[in-house]
Amino acid sequence: MPAPWRRPDRAAVEQGKKIHVYADETRPFLQGSRLTAWELMKDGIPTTVISDNMAGAMMKQGKIGAIVVGADRIAANGDVANKIGTYTVAVLAKEHNIPFYVAAPISTVDLECPDGSKIPIEQRNGKEVTHIAGKQMVPDGVGVENPAFDVTPAKYVAAIITERGIAKAPYAESLRQLAALEEVH
């Protein structure tokens, strides 16, 4: 029977590991700055917020040893839909030989969705990008793309961590096995 679910950062601390988390700000709503950083600090985990476009430079400087992201949906083949910018971080992690992990509840896995190309991507209101604190920052008439999510191909994912265990490639097999396990109580 798999061990009870522990968020990977919390589990590392419980195991006595010294970690420091660099949390992307996560634009346009700044969930990383406002929520992730708050949760980490509340748990006593040292945290530094970085702008979304700093991730590659931090990796190049050797400040990042592993990447852990969440997921909004995971396809049967291990492709992962998460907040926009996740794909970019995964590609940068691969370039810098840094493992890229996904931590998500098993309910996020959709075995009926064969791959990431079948995951619909929500387009959000352009004002989320053009306005900050109600003030327009972009000239009138400029086009805006504002997808809420992107899809990271499974080839960039080192492992998918769930409350039922850890899935590794080939994901079509390992995710199906985890999904078939009974719920941990």
DSSP string of 126-145?
THHHHEETTEE-S-TT----
* DSSP 8-state assignment for residue 6: -
**Upstream peptide bond of 170 is cis (omega within 30 degrees of 0):** yes
Give the whole-angstrom CA distance, residue 136 versus residue 169. Answer: 45
Tell me the three state secondary structure of residue 49.
Answer: strand
Q: Which of 72, 79, 115, 140 is catalytic?
A: 72
Nearest to 161 by CA among 101, 73, 80, 94: 101
Give the whole-angstrom CA distance, residue 162 versus residue 4. Answer: 10
Q: Which residues pair with 73 in a beta bridge?
A: 81
Q: Annotated catalytic, 140?
A: no
**In this structure, are strands 73-75 and 109-110 parallel, antiparallel, or unpaired?**
parallel
Q: Which residues pair with 74 in a beta bridge?
A: 80, 109
Residue that is written with structure tokens 């590609």 in the block: 91
Active site residues: 72
